[in-house]
Amino acid sequence: SDSDKIPFHPYYTIKDILGLLVLILTLTLLVLFSPDLLGDPDNYIPANPLNTPPHIKPEWYFLFAYAILRSIPNKLGGVLALVLSILILATIP
């Protein structure tokens, strides 16, 4: 009969909520007390605008665009040269 059954729903709900609260508390403590623990140390090295960082390597299919953009010091000139190089590739065939 129904009177002999034990209602387990509250126990499972409280257990799940407690586990979620422990997880949220752990992540909150980690973020608030040691935010740099999981960070990347490369983010604290001051950037040199004259050269590209060594960990950034362009893909082989971007090398022509990368070379064009790096060879022209003016930003607008580099973009125009890049657009013209793509237009030349589109009009040759």
pLDDT in tens, the chain (93 residues): 777 788 888 889 999 999 999 999 999 999 999 988 888 777 788 888 888 777 778 788 888 888 888 899 999 999 999 999 999 989 987
| pLDDT for the residue 35 | 85
Of the candidates 60, 75, 52, 49, the one whose C-alpha atom is nearest the C-alpha of residue 83 is 75
Of the candidates 50, 73, 69, 42, the one whose C-alpha atom is nearest the C-alpha of residue 58 is 69
Q: What is the pTM of this model?
A: 0.43
**Torsion 30-32-34-35 (CA) sign:** positive
| pLDDT for the residue 87 | 93
| pLDDT for the residue 63 | 87
